[in-house]
Amino acid sequence: MRNVWLALAWLLWLPNGLVFAQGCSTLTMSGPPSAAPASWVMNGKLVGAAVEYTQAVARAAGVTNIEVRTFSTWGETLQAAFKGDIDVIFSANRSEERDRHLDYVRPAMSVQFLNVVVRRGEEFDLLKLSDFEGRSGAASAGETYGNGYFGTFVQQKLILQRAPTIGQTMDLLLEKKVDFIFGWENAVYEQMMVRNLGSRVQVLDTYPTEAEAFIAFAKRSKCTVELREAFAQKVAAFNSQYLYRQLMKKHREIFNESMTRPN
């Protein structure tokens, strides 16, 4: 019995992260595959500010073995988290559906604006939400807009076509099948850069909503109980140092430079 108490005392003395790491020797994570500079796929790997930020949080919480997985679409990434195939998902907004499957780390890691994209020369005044009515729109599958006033408006008043990826959503706009598309700012930025769309589409000046983006644990992951509180402490500390903002600046330069290099 004495040896048991000595072992317990030793574990309690250790930094929290090292204790947690014993139960979660490997942490798997993923996020949006098309949302540069927060996260995007380069040379077959998921990279970006959100990737580096989440890895830093995990390491600070005591995790030593981190596996970043890449999925073809955001919808596939979400489903992997819902099923517990990955432990952590990042850049995730809240919604009622996601609440059933994810345990969010608070505070949020960032805030992102929703862009309204139209064909250049076909912009419209967006002064109130009713300005969307009578116009056809599209959005990427799996994207949600929260449970507040705007999210309720979208559910009750708008009929949005859904496409698997932001690229296919943008195609609907370019092919004149819809009048506008919704896209979170990083995803729209990546499309504009990769496809050189500056002369063909434009973003309206008004942002109809913004959303907090979270790191979240899959509820089916064994790591959520052990690590979520430690993650929350590290996110709060990193946010006070504006780490995510610094990483976004760094990875925007990396992404922009990648556009000028041959594959």
Each residue of 117-168: pLDDT tens digit? 999 999 999 999 999 999 999 999 989 898 889 999 999 999 999 999 999 9
In this model, does residue 16 exceed pLDDT 90? no
Tell me, yes or no, whether 102 and 226 share the same domain.
Answer: yes
SS (H, E, C) the chain: CHHHHHHHHHHHHCCHHHHHHHHCCEEEEECCCEECCCEEEECCEEECHHHHHHHHHHHHCCCCEEEECCCCCHHHHHHHHHHCCCCEEEEECCCHHHHCCEEECCCCCEEEEEEEEEECCCCCCCCCHHHHCCCCEEEECCCCCCCCHHHHHHHHHCCEEEECCHHHHHHHHHCCCCCEEEEEHHHHHHHHHHCCCCCCEEECCCCCCEEEEEEEEECCCCHHHHHHHHHHHHHHHHHHCCHHHHHHHHHHHHHHHHCCCCC
Residue 263 lies in a domain: no
169/122 Cα distance (integer angstroms): 17
Of the three residues 210, 225, 250, the one that is the final residue of a domain is 210
Tell me, yes or no, whether 6 and 106 share the same domain.
Answer: yes
Q: Give residue-wise pLDDT tens across range 21-74.
A: 456 889 999 999 999 999 999 999 999 999 999 999 999 999 999 999 999 999
pLDDT band at 6 (very low <50, low <70, confident <90, very high): very low
Residue 189: C-alpha distances to residues 36, 185, 203 (Å): 7, 6, 10
Beta carbons within 10 angstroms of residue 11's beta carbon: 11
- Tell me the CATH number at 120: 3.40.190.10
Residue 242 lies in a domain: yes
Residue with tokens 């760094």: 250
Total domains present in the chain = 2
Tell me, yes or no, whether 54 and 147 share the same domain.
Answer: no
Supply the range of the domain harboring residue 221.
2-110+212-258
Residues in the chain, overall count: 263
